[in-house]
Chains A and B, each alone.
Chain A
């Protein structure tokens, strides 16, 4: 499973990563809307982030913040309609995926960028054996024979540490435990040696102990296979050990972006601060858990100004009137708050 960038077919041959100083994957000012009968929901409102080879970016946010939709836009698996992408770019090794014809785009999926989903039970096809589902990619995409695909599927299942992989290759998804199913999902996503793995809340549907095992496995695989990973989660606890950088999303925007240490040390956005304060802490036993008041905004009627102002303890008139620009705070660090510096310094 050694990953050599130059051996990759298709896009990789044309543009090896980093030869123009660009990123492996870059989302630029992406907008996504869902046009339904009830109105237009502005789900993604100008999201930009990037990912370099071998690193892990955590995308953090509540349900409906747009983190999964961004990932699905990268994969090109949004249902369009109702989804529409009015503007934006998704650059993979310098090529805008949004401009590729569908047939070209399809070849990127699984082979360059692959994805694992939250609920492996529903994400796997219930009527086919797991080995068949892993092997399907190898047979159809790589032209492997049935026997070759089966051998490779066993290897992949062993790679993700499924016990007795050889015996279990013919089992169906419902015959596996939740953790093992997610491992099957991961094995499938690795089948074509992708350069980027998008993990969309990979542990949300699992028990806490199993969550840790899966996160360890993902971290280990990412290192061993030298992949880049986008980890989508709403769980700040999951992020700290695994991620290099964190992008915090709120109402379809990235409100804060920073490396893990800076963000945990001093958040630059009141929303991030609220998230950090709402992590249960052992040393504050017996006290009431801090929460962020209110609910995420209705994406069909996003509030004026800063979308977080209704829930923000520091909101002022300026926040109601003016949409805060994404301001740079040195290095890679950005925040979309009028008072970012004050929040960092703890002056608010």
Chain B
């Protein structure tokens, strides 16, 4: 197991360089005049141009210049310096502000998915073909079918404006309460998938031979379901939720946009819209790390849950 983790960590280094390089290239390689992009519509004086060229190492051109700037950037990154956004703010500071909001939102979303999704999934799996099962099937299909870009404004309008149970937007430093509705919207997609997954897994495990054995051992139905079936059924569900946590942590661009939540996704969206290259690349680099780490955690967790999996 230890060797596996070390190997995975080494793979993560490669993956980190690979993804940052691609994102860096996508953002900067095709850019016509980055200095003009920075200035927007305003004219740029010769002195300013010279200063910025020096600062961003733009005097080196071609593929060599690109890699020079990339390694310069990665070097700074590894020293913990994410650089400056084109707006002049330190990206590190922006992240420090946005990250806690996104993490809170992600945790609310994940909790909703676990509490509602897994519980309902277990019930639906136990009563396969019943009313509850069919009702949740229809509901989850509906949720899975509606894109967030539609679901989020609908929830905002009906539950925030028409029937003001929740604040319609979150604002600068949102409370947990203000994040509740966006969290539910964000979690609803994971919830639907977790529910279907749990339901199928429970139903499948109920038919397995080891359940028959547990019955023959004289175990009660409650014990069989809560210990034997649940432990086996949750293996795929936890794998899914782990990956999903990585997804949620990386920010919900649409949800954060609709509810005006100043999280990572919100900043990322603004960065893309304003062609703020350093901001986009900085955020994505951090997200890549979060994603890689959460995937590693899931893989290790998987081996803990299922003794048949051994990584050697």
Show the binding face of A for B, using Cβ within 8 Å: 72, 75, 77, 106-111, 114-115, 117, 119, 122-129, 136-137, 140-141, 172, 174, 185, 188, 192
CB within 8 Å for A136 and B209 given contacts A127-B232, A127-B307: no
B232 and A126 within 8 A (CB): yes
Nearest CB in chain A: distance from B3 CB, A: 20
A123 touches B217 (CB 8 A): no
Assuming the contacts A109-B218, A137-B218, A140-B223, asked whether A123 and B305 have C-beta atoms less than 8 A apart, the reply is no
- Smallest beta-carbon distance A318→chain B, Å: 41
Tell which of A109, A115, A174, A192 touches B308, judged by Cβ atoms closer than 8 Å: A174
| Chain A residues with CB under 8 A of B216 | 75, 77, 109-110, 114-115, 117
A-B contact pairs, 18 of them (CB 8 A): A109-B218, A111-B218, A115-B216, A117-B213, A122-B209, A123-B212, A125-B210, A125-B213, A125-B231, A125-B232, A126-B210, A126-B306, A127-B305, A127-B306, A136-B217, A172-B308, A174-B308, A188-B217
- Contact mask for chain B residues 207-239; partner A; CB cutoff 8 A; 1 contact, 0 none: 011101111111110010000100110010000
B208 and A122 form a contact (CB under 8 A): yes
> Chain B 27-50, CB within 8 Å of chain A: the 1/0 string?
000000000000000000000000
B contact residues, total (Cβ < 8 Å): 21
A123 and B210 contact, Cβ closer than 8 Å, known pairs A109-B215, A110-B216, A137-B217:
yes
CB-CB < 8 A to A114: which residues of B?
216-217
B307 engages A122 (CB within 8 Å): no
- Expressed in whole angstroms, the Cα–Cα distance for A122 and B209 within the complex equals 6
**Would A110 and B307 be within 8 Å (CB), given that A77-B212, A122-B210 are in contact?**
no
Is A110 a contact of B232 with CB atoms below 8 Å? no
Residue pair B218, A110 in contact (C-beta under 8 Å): yes
Q: Which residues of B contact A108 (CB under 8 A)?
A: 218
**Interface-central residue, B217, B219, B305, B306, by most chain A CB under 10 Å:** B217
Chain B residues near A129 (CB-CB < 8 A)? 307
B218: chain A residues within 8 A (beta carbon): 106-111, 137, 141, 192
Task: Give the residues in chain B near A172, CB-CB below 8 Å.
Answer: 307-308
User: What residues of A have a CB within 8 angstroms of the CB of B307 in the complex?
Assistant: 126-127, 129, 172, 174
Tell me the smallest distance from the CB of B25 to a CB of chain A, in Å. Answer: 45
Find the B residue at minimum CB distance from A122: B209
Complex: chain B residue closest to A137, CB-CB:
B217
Contact at A123–B213, with CB atoms within 8 Å? Answer: yes
Look across to chain B and name the residue whose beta carbon is closest to the beta carbon of A111. Answer: B218
Q: Which of B209, B223, B306 is within 8 Å of A123, CB to CB?
A: B209
The closest CB in chain A to the CB of B209 belongs to A122
Residues of B within 8 A of A72 (CB): 212
Please determine whether A140 and B219 come into contact, CB atoms closer than 8 angstroms. yes
